[in-house]
Chain A
Amino acid sequence: MKGNFIDNLPKIYGLYTGGFVVFILLMAILEQVGVDAETIGILFVLFTVVIYAAIGWLSRTMQVDAYYVAGRQVPAVFNGMATAADWMSGASFVAMAGGIYFGGHGYLAFVVGWTGGYVLVASLMAPYLRKFGCYTVPDYIGTRYGGDLARLCAVIVLVVASFTYVTAQINATGTIAARALQIPFEVGVWFGLLGILLCSMLGGMRAVTWTQVAQYIVLIIAYLVPVFWMSSKQEFGLIPQFAYGDAIGRLAELEALHKVGEMKPTEAFAGVRALTIEHATAGASALANWKFVTLAFMMMAGTASLPHILMRYFTTPSVRAARTSVAWSLLFIFLLYFTAPALATFTKLQVLDPNLATGIIGKSFSEVASLDWIQKWSNVGMLKISDSNGDGILQINEFFMRGDIVVLATPEIAGLPFVISGLVAAGGMAAAMSTADGLLLAIANALSHDLYYKIIDPSADTRKRLIAARVLLIAIGAAGAFVASFKLTGILGAVAWAFNFAASGLFFPLVLGIWWKRANREGAIAGMICGFVAGTAYLIWVRFMGGAEFIGLDHLRFGIVGMAVSLVAMVIVTQMTKEPDEETQKMVDEMRIPKGATVLSSDH
């Protein structure tokens, strides 16, 4: 191919997408000639992981700006895809549709929160941070406010938030690898980590960028194909996302028929639950509304504070590209997020509707118990049916499952070929790996650039800096895998905590550094420490000490407390101390206009 790599990007990824489609067709042919489902699953996961690793190898570099910000030459659309992959984690891919299945309208607060946050990123943060020219988020905090202490506080918040998040992602890669490759979970975790490190270690941000684009393509195909397929089988038309309104109406009838919410389960089984919440009914009380908006708000503020997302916008060629890139990111994310509620609706319809061949609720218990997919998922503990009242009929309160099944088992529930299940496994793997990559890199870069180079050894040469970055990457990855192998928290809880940690400590110091020229070092340090400590203390109080929730703020929303304290502390301390020097104020002026050189040069 002629010309340089960047100019050829559409061609390269076009070929890649075509190649992936050919691979899917090949797998479909293998299935037809009698290759079993397990082998197809293994081929899907191995093939895609090897491709990512190859991209990681081809993107290796020993240049500082290529390692930290991909040479600042990632076009807006491609950076949008990379951000979308970076963003959509195992939780979005595997758990979101299941969350909506069980949680109904209340759960949609995550959907609103995880998209609306990008409005904050675009309007308050990304273009200004791009103009600043920093390599990491603590790099910006440390330079804007000055001093090692501010930088160190930012590093600590970043590490806590991102590490919480990355263990959940490594956990997810381990779960998927273990299932697809038929290996124990503990081995799966280390296999997942190996794949993640191969993508990021040699090429840093450059390698992560180009693998994330590849991972986005796999994950979005894997998410959309089963939904389109299923909806065309049920005759909801070509774009089911716009046409499932009637399905919601039908669900409401079925909920009345099966007494959803009225018939509570009389038994409990670990890890699985029965459906008790109506699909589209919104809470009518002020407290329910408050819980919806506070959860959405925390997810938004967290989006705008999580360093692995913000640093993606450091890689665009210009401030202007950074802005449009946020828009592209959200468009690519939207494709999955507006599909998840549709998927949850279709799956629920499949299970509940007695007129459909797939419906199981209200059918005879022994008939349901003999279904292939019921047996298969029961065997791995993700599903449970129990004839609690002994009437020989399966009622709504006798069918228990784990939310993740909605994505993982839907192809089987709807009777789609095995090849689709393999595709879904590869998609889940891509989602978890791409997020883990971004998070690990954010942590390792903050430690190597901000802690090691800026604070501990400013005389280190390029070689030494980049070797330190890689050693840290391996060490943190290993620590993450080690923690993940204990399976401490559920995937979704850990993810929500990461957002709350990041927003408690970083949101106001980041925003006010741009939008309030008066903001100074003392204020920022107070904001980071007080916000982070208050949020964490509140989390420990409600989650582990049995403390009473303050106006419905539970452990998923502890950042509301942290952010409030952070804002108050930052404003009061800033007002009590003297304003920043003239040089800092000029720095802020420079951030606010796109024209001219970045505030920090590329050899800083």
Chain B
Amino acid sequence: MTDVSPEVRAAHWAKTKNLTITVLVLWFIFSFVVHWFASDLNAFSFFGFPLGFYMAAQGSLIVFVVLIFWLASRQNSIDEEFGVAEEDA
């Protein structure tokens, strides 16, 4: 078993959980909430697109890509903060 104290593990996991919950909330909004209101959003125009259509064809997708890059970098700094990152990675 890797030499990391239970306290450090618990603190690291608590922070990891918070980050994951944040990510999942954003995921939920851009996966479901936005599209539930697509018909209403279509009343707005975004660079010439009806907004509801734009979000499903492009907007949510861009959010997902950025969200995962952000998650990866945030999680790396959490791992480093608690000294549980891989040594030679």
Shortest distance from the beta carbon of A585 to any chain B beta carbon, whole Å: 11
Contact A281 B65 (CB under 8 A): no
Chain B's interface size range is: 35 or more
Q: Determine whether the beta carbon of A341 is less than 8 Å from that of B32.
A: no
Whether A595 lies near B56 (C-beta < 8 A) is no
Q: CB-CB < 8 A to A112: which residues of B? A: 31, 35, 56, 60-61
Of A118, A122, A282, A586, most buried by chain B (CB within 10 Å of CB) is A282
Asked if A590 lies at the interface with its beta carbon under 8 angstroms from chain B, I say yes
Chief secondary structure at chain A's binding surface: helix
- Provide the bound-state CA to CA distance between A501 and B69, in Å: 29
Q: Which of A355-392 contact B (CB under 8 A)?
A: none
Judged by a CB distance under 8 angstroms, whether A241 is at the interface is yes
Given A123-B20, A280-B42, are A334 and B36 neighbors across the interface (CB < 8 Å)?
no
Tell me if A580 counts as interface (CB < 8 A to partner B): no
Residues from chain B with a CB closer than 8 A to the CB of A326 are: 68, 72
B58:A338 contact, CB within 8 angstroms: yes
Q: Contact mask A103-143 → B, CB, 8 Å, 1/0?
A: 00100110111011011101110010000000000000000
What total of A-B pairs shows CB separation below 8 Å? 175
B38: A residues at CB distance < 8 A: 105, 282-283, 289, 292
Nearest residue (CB) in A for B36 is A289
Checking B13, B53, B83, B85 against A282 with a beta-carbon cut-off of 8 angstroms, the contacting residue is: B53
State how many angstroms separate the Cβ of A541 from the closest Cβ of chain B. Answer: 26
Interface residue? A330 (CB, 8 A)? yes
Q: Is A436 at the interface (CB under 8 A from chain B)?
A: no
B86 at interface (Cβ–Cβ under 8 A)? yes
B32 touches A296 (CB 8 A): yes
Are B57's CB and A111's CB within 8 A?
yes
A595 with B49, Cβ < 8 A, contacts A112-B56, A118-B64, A123-B24 known: no
Interface centre among B46, B48, B52 (most CB of A within 10 A): B48
- Choose from B9, B32, B48, B60 the contact partner of A249 (Cβ within 8 Å): B48
The interface residues of chain A lying within 8 Å CB-to-CB of B85 are: 320, 594-595
Instruction: Return chain A residues, CB-CB under 8 Å to B89.
Output: 317-321, 594
Would A593 and B68 count as touching, CB distance under 8 A?
no
Q: Does A246 contact B (CB under 8 A)?
A: yes
**Cα distance, A592 to B11, chains bound together (Å):** 12
A331 adjacent to chain B (CB < 8 Å): yes
- Residues of chain A within 8 A of B37, CB atoms compared: 289
Per-residue A-contact encoding for B39-52, CB less than 8 Å = 1, 0 else: 10110011111101
Q: Which residues of chain A are within 8 angstroms of B84 by Cβ–Cβ distance?
A: 593-595
Let me know if B2 and A593 touch, CB within 8 A: yes
B35, A289: Cβ atoms under 8 Å?
yes
The interface bits of chain B over 2-32 (1 if a CB of A lies within 8 angstroms of the residue's CB, else 0) are 1110000100110010001001100100111
Inter-chain contact A334/B2, CB cutoff 8 Å: no
Q: How far is the CB of B43 from chain A (nearest CB, A)?
A: 11
Contacts of A596 in B (CB 8 A): 1-4
Verify if A47 is at the interface (C-beta below 8 Å from B).
Answer: no
Query: What string of 1s and 0s marks CB contacts (under 8 Å) between A89-110 and chain B?
Result: 0000000000000000100110
Please give the distance in Å from B5's CB to the nearest CB on chain A. Answer: 11
Bound-state CA distance A337–B58 (Å) is 8
- Which residues A295-309 have CB closer than 8 A to chain B? 296-297, 300
From A113, which residue of chain B is reached at the shortest CB distance?
Answer: B31
List residues of chain A with CB within 8 A of the CB of B60. 112, 115-116
Selected from A108, A120, A293, A318, the residue in CB contact (under 8 A) with B57 is A108
A-B contact pairs, 5 of them (CB 8 A): A281-B42, A289-B36, A324-B69, A592-B16, A595-B2
Top 9 closest pairs, chain A to chain B, by CB: A245-B48, A596-B2, A282-B38, A108-B56, A245-B49, A318-B89, A341-B57, A593-B84, A280-B53
